[in-house]
Amino acid sequence: MTVPTNDTLYDLRSVSRVYGERANKVRALRDLDLTVHDGEFLVVAGPSGSGKTTLLQLLGGLDRPTEGEVLFDGRDLARLGDAELTGLRLRTIGFVFQQFNLIPTLTAAQNVEVALAPRGLDAAGRRTAVERALASVGLEERADHLPSQLSGGEQQRVAIARALANEPRVVLADEPTGNLDSATGEEIVELLRSLSNGGGRTVIVITHDPQVAQAAPRVVRLRDGTMEEAA
């Protein structure tokens, strides 16, 4: 366990998350303590069902803990209202999903624009932000392509561009290489790591892929909802 310091971004204290009731009760996380520093590249590893995705959703303000506190920049996310969490996700956190979660009828540029639309930017401002985001993942030439016209790696790059569109402090990636071949997966991991190293962003990657874990300076391993070890 890392001791909170001045550059602590996340501070999780005795966090538990329980789904269901009585006989169907499932404890996805148990008394988890975790500190993540600003600008850190962290990998959360563990087998399926270990609670990785639950942890990511708590970090992203998509879910609330049953017990404990998830402090983000000193604020307990569990105490924020829906509107505040929505604002936080819009401006501060970018998500990358295993299945990319792109909207199939929108082009790459429009998929990136999805994340910008709620901000109320004018068309020119949105266009500039889209171009910048796509350029940062090397896909500026593929802006007008539909997801079905892109490879898996390119689709994941579009998803990363969407996550970066609002220049968030944090990027949360859930199994970002799960649907990619190993070579493409390595490219994506490298891209995510570059967002932290030099990019200044905090990047938290959830994976069960040992190769991804090897590439990270710090790895947190989960098993049955508890933190097994930190490397």
Partner 1 sequence: MFYLNYVLSELRRRRGRTLVTALGLAVGVALVVTVSALSAGLDRAQDRVLRPLTGVGTDLSVSRPISFSRGAGNGLSTGERRRLVQENGPRPLALTKLGKPGSHFSRDDFVATSQLSFSSSKLSRVRHLSGVAAAAGGLTLTTIHVEGKVPKQQQQPQQQFGAGAVAAGPPRNINLSSISVAGVDVRHPGLGAVTPGQVSSGRFFARASAAHEAILDLSYARRKGLRVGGTVHVGGKAFRIVGLAQTPLGGQSSDVYLELSRLQQLAGRRGRVNTVYVRATSASAVDGVSREIKSAVPGASVTTAKDLADRVSGSLVDAKNLTGKLGLALEIVGLVAAFLIAALLTIGAVAKRTKELGTLKAVGWSQRLVVRQVTAESVVQGLVGGALGIVLGLAGAELVSALAPSLTATVANAVQATPLPGPFGQGQPTSASTTVHLDAPVSLGLLGLAVLLAVAGGLLAGAAGGLRAARLRPAEALRHLE
Applying CB under 8 A, the residues found at the interface with partner 1 are 53, 57, 60, 62-63, 82-83, 86-87, 89-91, 94-95, 97, 101, 103-106, 110, 113-115, 117-118, 123, 126, 162-163, 166
Q: What single-letter amino acid sits at 76?
A: D
In terms of CB distance, is 192 or 219 closer to partner 1?
192
User: Least distance from C-beta 8 to partner 1, angstroms?
Assistant: 24
User: Least distance from C-beta 205 to partner 1, angstroms?
Assistant: 16
In terms of CB distance, is 8 or 111 closer to partner 1?
111
Q: Is 20 exposed, middle or buried (0-12, 13-18, 19+ CB in 10 A)?
A: exposed
Q: Tell me, letter by letter, the H, E, C secondary structure of the chain.
A: CCCCCCCEEEEEEEEEEEECCHHHCEEEEEEEEEEEECCCEEEEECCCCCCHHHHHHHHCCCCCCCEEEEEECCEEHHHCCHHHHHHHHHHCEEEECCCCCCCCCCCHHHHHHHHHHHHCCCHHHHHHHHHHHHHHCCCHHHCCCCHHHCCHHHHHHHHHHHHHCCCCCEEEEECCCCCCCHHHHHHHHHHHHHHHCCCCCEEEEEECCHHHHHCCCEEEEEECCEEEEEC
In terms of CB distance, is 5 or 149 closer to partner 1?
149
In terms of CB distance, is 91 or 218 closer to partner 1?
91
User: Least distance from C-beta 111 to partner 1, angstroms?
Assistant: 10
Measured in degrees and rounded to the nearest 5, phi and psi for residue 8 equal -70, 125
In terms of CB distance, is 1 or 117 closer to partner 1?
117
User: Least distance from C-beta 106 to partner 1, angstroms?
Assistant: 6
Residue 127 tokens read as: 């266009």
User: Least distance from C-beta 98 to partner 1, angstroms?
Assistant: 10
In terms of CB distance, is 58 or 216 closer to partner 1?
58
In terms of CB distance, is 8 or 177 closer to partner 1?
177
User: Least distance from C-beta 63 to partner 1, angstroms?
Assistant: 4
User: Least distance from C-beta 217 to partner 1, angstroms?
Assistant: 27
Closest to 28 measured CA to CA, from 60, 59, 53? 53
